[in-house]
Amino acid sequence: MYLSHVRRMMLVVLCCIAHNQLAVANTVSTSQFNETGIHPCEALSFKAMSQLPEITALPNPFLKTDGTTITDKSDWPCVRAHTRVLFERFELGEKPPKPQKVSGKLEGESLTVNATHLQQSISFNTKVHYPSKGKAPYPAVISIGWYCLNKQALDDAGIAVIEFNNNEIAEQQNTGSRGKGKFYQLYGSQHSASAMIAWSWGISRIIDVLADSGQQQIDTKHIGVTGCSRNGKGAIVAGAFDERIALTIAQESGSGGSASWRISDYQQSQGQNVQTQKQIVTENVWFRDNFKQFSGHTTKIPVDHHQLMGMIAPRGLLVIENTSMEWLGNQSTYLTAKVAHSIWQALGVPQNMGVSQLGGHKHCQFPDAQLPELNAFLARFLLDDKKADTQVMKTDGEFDTSVEKWQRWNLPDL
Distance of CA 45 to the CA centre of its chain: 22
Where does residue 224 fall: left (phi above 0), alpha (psi -120 to 50 degrees), or beta otherwise?
beta
Contact call for residues 209 and 105 (beta carbons, < 8 A): yes
Q: Please tell me the distance from the alpha carbon of residue 1 to that of residue 249, in angstroms, as a whole number.
A: 32
Identify the CA nearest to 256 among candidates 201, 336, 345, 162. Answer: 336
Sequence-ordered list of residues with C-beta below 8 angstroms from that of 166, at least 6 positions apart, any chain? 144, 145, 172, 195, 199, 202, 227, 231, 234
Report DSSP letters for 316-361, one per residue.
EEEEEE-TT-GGG-HHHHHHHHHHHHHHHHHTT-GGGEEEEE--SS
Sequence-ordered list of residues with C-beta below 8 angstroms from that of 306, at least 6 positions apart, any chain? 58, 61, 260, 336, 337, 339, 340, 343
Contact call for residues 287 and 255 (beta carbons, < 8 A): no
At residue 311, the 3 state secondary structure works out as coil
User: What would you report as the CA-atom Rg of the chain, rounded to the nearest whole angstrom?
Assistant: 20
Q: Please tell me the distance from the alpha carbon of residue 103 to that of residue 115, in angstroms, as a whole number.
A: 7
Q: Please tell me the distance from the alpha carbon of residue 278 to that of residue 291, in angstroms, as a whole number.
A: 10
Where does residue 192 fall: left (phi above 0), alpha (psi -120 to 50 degrees), or beta otherwise?
alpha
Identify the CA nearest to 184 among candidates 173, 196, 197, 170. Answer: 170
Distance of CA 182 to CAs 34, 93, 97, 225, 238, Å?
22, 16, 16, 21, 17
Distance of CA 265 to CAs 276, 299, 328, Å?
6, 10, 12
Identify the CA nearest to 285 among candidates 197, 188, 185. Answer: 197
Reported as half-sphere exposure (CB side, CA atoms, 13 A), residue 252 has a value of: 21
Enumerate the active-site residues.
229, 363
Sequence-ordered list of residues with C-beta below 8 angstroms from that of 371, at least 6 positions apart, any chain? 150, 153
Contact call for residues 35 and 204 (beta carbons, < 8 A): yes
